[in-house]
């Protein structure tokens, strides 16, 4: 069959393209610097070889650290490239798994034809996975889940190879040992790897039940898993060096377990109702990722798998059930942050993409069987088949490109720079939300901007290890005299603010201003941030010159990429302009008031009602 191909040179060009095409797309849409959510924290931890939020992510940090030595771009861009590479490797594994499962399939009694169709099916599945919204969203900035998906797919591939060796009469326990080693290693990327253990166990037991009775091999498998797990020693070893970002400070066994077991997170789950339960279940959404046509192909692929590879069929279904039971059932994620758990399903989506490839192969086989007098050398026929394979990935790419294009996304970077520019020398600014704090950490810790400023993160003021990391602020703080774990962050913040007032200029960010009721203090706007004064002190006039020095790229234009916190940052700009306009109107500085209100309306037209109320109240045109 004359499907388009490069002359046979012994090189699998489909394999190469399964990596190169997704990687090219990710590089074209790659974020140029820090973004919101965990980005700034991961970047800072990677650059300093420190520790990120629990459970630390040591393997991901070490992997990404290698890319900081690239000779181009800033540190954030280089680490973003690391995620683009791991995502592209995951796409490559979709191709390998699909071709591996189709290795012994024959279409029209023509093994050469079958091999070509299998390659095209694997290639189409790999690129389709690469342009799904969930993977693409993680691939253009720093995320650990694509690396986890890659490692888990390697384990599945090795298990398939072990199964084939076993069925051919050759026992190769070394494959199992490598798999358990990789499983232990992957725990240092993300702990959701444990959700795949039941599927892998079933693949082994359903193939060879005698494995349960081979004590020596079982002990060796456990030993290899423990060797892989030893990468966790990175956390206490690096903590001894006091890196720039040392989340959890795992110097002792107790602190290591606190960090590894995620003890620092709130443990009270939300009250579950039917709507919340359904929203949690829908976090795994094949139709959203692959389209409804893709979902149909997945069902066809499952049917093929049931007939040809029953153990893999069982493993996939068990994986889906375990993921849903634990993530939706046990985690019981609140409605407003369910979108964060959607990333946990990345390894499942990789396996689902393999099913899509199997479905494409099956569909092509059915079509060929029903075409009378099929001519393998017909260019028209070959073109039609190739078109069938390329339609889905091309369509998914066209639909998802715009909203995942971050190559001009400077909003988080500019927001952090503008916040730091608003602060006087030797100031201390308390932050509240992660997205408001982490970009500041990156700019100060990695790009060395405004090192004279201290940036305490209010939710962390209840942890002793965090107070230790900011000696200029908390070395002699009264917070050390209390059992701070019994304090709430608001109380800790009030104590810290009271201690620093009159000693250093004290500021808070926008999120802190509107998260806490400051009865005893007076927040005064200074651009995007607020100066804290005592109630007896004069208010002062907002400094309008600050706004002229701000970088506001992407604020007034329609954004192609708009996640939750990027949208919030844009609204913070709009609210800050509105608040300044209201103040200037109140002191009869009408020209400044009109200008600030106009900018607020340009940024957020939905705020037009509130803006017009201010205009009406003060008689502004």
Asked if pLDDT for residue 100 goes beyond 80, the answer is yes
533: helix, coil or strand? Answer: strand
- DSSP assigned state of 558: P
Closest CA to 129 of 102, 91, 92, 97: 91
Its sign, for the CA torsion 276, 280, 283, 287, is negative
Residues 42-67: pLDDT tens digits? 999 999 999 999 899 999 999 999 99
- Could you tell me the pTM of the whole model? 0.92
The percent of the chain in helix, strand and coil, each rounded to the nearest 5, is 65, 5, 30
Band of residue 276 on the pLDDT scale cut at 50, 70, 90: confident
Question: What is the radius of gyration, based on Cα positions, of the chain?
Answer: 28
- Which two tokens mark 520? 């005893």
CA 561 to each of CA 140, 400, 412, 587: distance values in angstroms, whole numbers, following the listed order: 11, 10, 12, 38
370 near 363, Cβ under 8 Å?
Answer: no
Residues 390-413: pLDDT tens digits? 899 999 999 999 989 998 889 999
Closest CA to 93 of 148, 26, 36: 148
Residues 6+ apart with CB under 8 A from 309: 101
Asked if pLDDT for residue 83 goes beyond 50, the answer is yes
Residues 487-516: pLDDT tens digits? 788 888 888 888 888 889 999 999 888 888
Q: How many whole angstroms from its chain centre is CA 344?
A: 9
508: helix, coil or strand? Answer: strand
Asked if pLDDT for residue 375 goes beyond 80, the answer is no
- DSSP assigned state of 532: E
- Percentage, residues of the chain above pLDDT 90: 51
Backbone angles phi and psi of 246, in degrees to 5: -125, 60
Q: Which residue has the tokens 């192909």?
A: 297
- What's the CA gap between 609 and 616, in Å, rounded? 11
CA 409 to each of CA 86, 156, 316, 416, 441: distance values in angstroms, whole numbers, following the listed order: 21, 36, 37, 13, 18
Q: Are strands 506-508 and 521-526 parallel, antiparallel or unpaired?
A: unpaired
* In the chain, domain spans: 22-263+277-401, 411-618
- What's the CA gap between 137 and 150, in Å, rounded? 16
Residue 301, judged by CB atoms within 10 A of its CB (0-12, 13-18, 19+), counts as buried
Asked if pLDDT for residue 374 goes beyond 60, the answer is no
169: helix, coil or strand? Answer: coil
Give the residue-averaged pLDDT of 217-232.
Answer: 93
pLDDT attached to residue 6: 45
């Amino acid at each position: 069959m004359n499907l388009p191909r490069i002359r046979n040179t012994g090189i699998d060009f489909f394999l190469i393209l399964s990596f190169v095409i997704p990687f090219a797309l990710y590089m074209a849409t790659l974020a140029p610097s820090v973004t919101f959510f965990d980005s700034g924290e991961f970047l800072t931890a990677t650059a300093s070889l420190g520790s990120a939020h629990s459970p630390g992510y040591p393997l991901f940090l070490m992997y990404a650290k290698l890319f900081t030595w690239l000779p181009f771009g800033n540190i954030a861009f280089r680490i973003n490239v690391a995620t683009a590479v791991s995502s592209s490797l995951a796409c490559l594994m979709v191709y390998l798994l699909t071709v591996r499962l189709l290795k012994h399939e024959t279409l029209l009694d023509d093994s050469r034809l079958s091999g070509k169709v299998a390659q095209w099916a694997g290639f189409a599945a790999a690129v389709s996975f690469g342009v799904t919204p969930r993977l693409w969203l993680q691939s253009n900035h720093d995320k650990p889940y694509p690396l986890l998906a890659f490692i888990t797919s390697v384990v599945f591939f090795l298990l398939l190879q072990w199964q084939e060796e076993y069925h051919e009469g050759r026992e190769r326990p070394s494959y199992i040992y490598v798999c358990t080693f990789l499983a232990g290693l992957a725990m240092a990327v993300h702990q959701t790897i444990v959700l795949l253990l039941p599927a892998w166990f079933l693949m082994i037991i359903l193939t060879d039940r005698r494995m349960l009775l081979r004590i020596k091999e079982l002990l060796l498998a456990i030993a290899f898993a423990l060797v892989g797990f030893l990468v966790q020693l990175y956390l206490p070893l690096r903590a001894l060096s006091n890196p720039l970002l040392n989340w959890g400070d795992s110097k002792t066994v107790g602190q290591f377990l606190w960090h590894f077991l995620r003890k620092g997170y709130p443990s009270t789950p939300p009250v579950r109702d039917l709507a919340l339960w359904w929203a949690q279940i829908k976090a795994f959404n094949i139709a959203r990722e692959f389209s409804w046509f893709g979902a149909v192909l997945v069902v066809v692929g499952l049917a093929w798998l049931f007939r040809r590879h029953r153990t893999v069929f069982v493993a996939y279904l068990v994986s889906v059930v375990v993921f849903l039971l634990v993530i939706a059932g046990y985690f019981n994620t609140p409605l407003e942050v369910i979108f964060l758990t959607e990333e946990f399903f990345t390894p499942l989506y990789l396996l689902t993409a393999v099913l899509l490839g199997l479905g494409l192969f099956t569909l092509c086989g059915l079509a060929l069987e029903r075409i009378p007098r099929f001519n393998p050398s017909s260019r028209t026929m070959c073109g039609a088949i190739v078109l069938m394979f390329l339609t889905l990935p091309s369509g998914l790419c066209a639909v998802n490109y715009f909203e995942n294009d971050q190559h001009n996304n400077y909003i988080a970077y500019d927001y952090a720079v503008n916040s730091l520019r608003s602060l006087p020398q030797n100031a201390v600014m308390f932050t509240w939300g992660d997205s408001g704090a982490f970009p500041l950490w990156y700019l100060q810790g990695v790009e060395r901007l405004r090192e004279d400023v201290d940036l305490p993160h209010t939710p962390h003021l209840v942890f002793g290890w965090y107070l230790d990391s900011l000696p200029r602020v908390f070395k002699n703080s009264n917070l050390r005299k209390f059992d701070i774990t019994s304090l709430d962050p608001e109380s800790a913040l009030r104590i810290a603010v009271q201690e620093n007032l009159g000693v250093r200029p004290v500021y808070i960010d926008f999120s802190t201003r509107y998260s806490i009721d400051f009865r005893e203090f007076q927040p005064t706007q200074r651009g995007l941030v607020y100066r804290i004064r005592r109630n007896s002190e004069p208010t002062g006039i907002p400094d309008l010159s600050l706004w002229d020095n701000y970088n506001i790229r992407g604020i007034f234009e329609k954004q192609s990429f708009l996640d939750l916190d990027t949208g919030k940052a844009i609204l913070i700009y709009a609210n800050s302009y509105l608040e300044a306009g209201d103040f200037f109107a109140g002191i009869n500085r009408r020209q400044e008031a009109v200008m600030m209100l106009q900018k607020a309306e340009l940024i957020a037209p939905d705020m037009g009602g509130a803006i017009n109320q201010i205009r009406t109240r003060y008689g502004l045109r």
